[in-house]
A and B are shown apart, each in its own frame.
Chain A
Amino acid sequence: MSDSNNWPTWEVFTQKAQGAPHEHAGNVHAPDAELALLNARDVYSRRNEAISLWVVPTESIVASTPEDVGPFFDPANDKMYRSPNFYKTPDGIKQI
């Protein structure tokens, strides 16, 4: 802990309201999980932006790479039948 440059980073997810998803807000440096949570609170929820916080070690995130753009994300575009566009939504259902 003697060199703050060696602190790992933690990804911060904030939930804005009950039932809402936790969304990625950014990251913080912290020497351990408890302090990561406190730092996340101070940096990303200092004005009451969140009612719940998650912190995850950045190294635990498995991410796609920019090279994946083609093979990973393109294929669905030309298959309209994969999107539920042709269903009628009953009245009174607001969120789907």
Chain B
Amino acid sequence: MGMNEALFTFSVRQADSALVLAQRLCEWCGHGPVLEEDIAMSNMGLDLIGQSRGYYSYAANIEGGGRSEDDLAFHRNEREFMNRCLVEQPNGDFGHTMMRSFFYSAFSALQHRELRSSTDETISGVAQKAWKELQYHARHTGQWIVRLGDGTEESHQRIQSSLDELWSFTEELFDTDRIDEQLVSEGIICDIGLLKPEWDVMVNDVLHAAGLVVPPKGYRSKGGMHGVHTEYLGHMLSEMQYLPRAYPDARW
């Protein structure tokens, strides 16, 4: 595969995960349990939209075929989306949303910390900003997991079942394929497999403080990066993409 094609695919994968999670977080807008958390979730969503724009516009540039960042976000179908399956999972309750974001932002913060030293200037630029934002997301969501786990009997039981359900989507975060290997060998991206032990420590610290127990190994998701998704992504995209598809010339 040509370098540009690999770089395009990597960028779109990165953008897709950020955008899909952003859309999920913004679904909370106006529905948060308290005003402050409502704002916090939208803030995190907007950070992720910023990150996805950085990657989409870079991908559109690389492709050079006239597709814009908006075309990539709003005019591709479910099978063409390459996000990790974790981020497309439905919001559930507030704790569920915190758990999902915590897993992702712990991962993504580590990844972007490393990507800051990418030999590719655009990627290192995006990473510089994303790293800061994602550290905050991991802190905010991690704090909530501790409080819910260590809260009432009901909050503990509910956040434990979120952990049980979402845990099976975490291993997929670290999946790679030949495209990644190619970019790693060029120094453009880091080998995310090397970050897994650090992610384990970050996550276990929080889960331990929360008094939560990691479920036994069982089913694990895979294939998001190749367009194979759970049943939820299609529904989410139909809502997210409705307006630009129904009114292609719509302007703010």
Binding site for B on A (CB under 8 A): 1-2, 4, 7, 28-32, 34-35, 38-39, 41-43, 46
Contact = CB atoms under 8 A, between A and B. Distances in A.
Contact of A1 (B35, B37, B40, B147): B147
Nearest to A46: B43
A22 B35 CA distance: 24
A42 B36 contact: yes
A38 B43 contact: no
B185 interface: no
Interface string B22-43: 0000000000011111011001
Interface of B: 33-37, 39-40, 43, 136, 139-140, 143-144, 147, 151-152, 154-155
Contact of B39 (A2, A30, A35, A42): A42
B36 A1 contact: no
Nearest to B151: A1
Contacts of B144: 35
Given A1-B155, A2-B152, A31-B147, A38 B39 contact: no
Given A1-B147, A31-B147, A38 B40 contact: yes
B40 A34 contact: no
The B interface is mostly helix, strand or loop, or mixed, namely helix
B84 to A, nearest CB: 25
**Which 5 pairs from chain A and chain B are nearest by CB?**
A39-B36, A42-B40, A4-B34, A42-B39, A38-B140
B143 A28 contact: no
A4 B151 CA distance: 13
A2 B151 CA distance: 9
A4 B40 contact: no
A30 B152 CA distance: 17
Given A1-B147, A41-B136, A43-B35, 16 more contacts: A1-B151, A1-B155, A2-B152, A2-B154, A28-B36, A32-B147, A34-B143, A35-B147, A38-B40, A38-B139, A38-B140, A38-B143, A39-B37, A42-B36, A42-B39, A43-B36
B81 to A, nearest CB: 28
26 contacts: A1-B147, A1-B151, A1-B152, A1-B155, A2-B154, A4-B34, A7-B34, A28-B36, A29-B34, A30-B36, A31-B147, A32-B147, A34-B143, A35-B144, A35-B147, A38-B40, A38-B139, A38-B140, A38-B143, A39-B36, A39-B40, A42-B36, A42-B39, A42-B40, A43-B39, A46-B43
A41 B137 CA distance: 12
A27 to B, nearest CB: 10
Contacts of A46: 39, 43
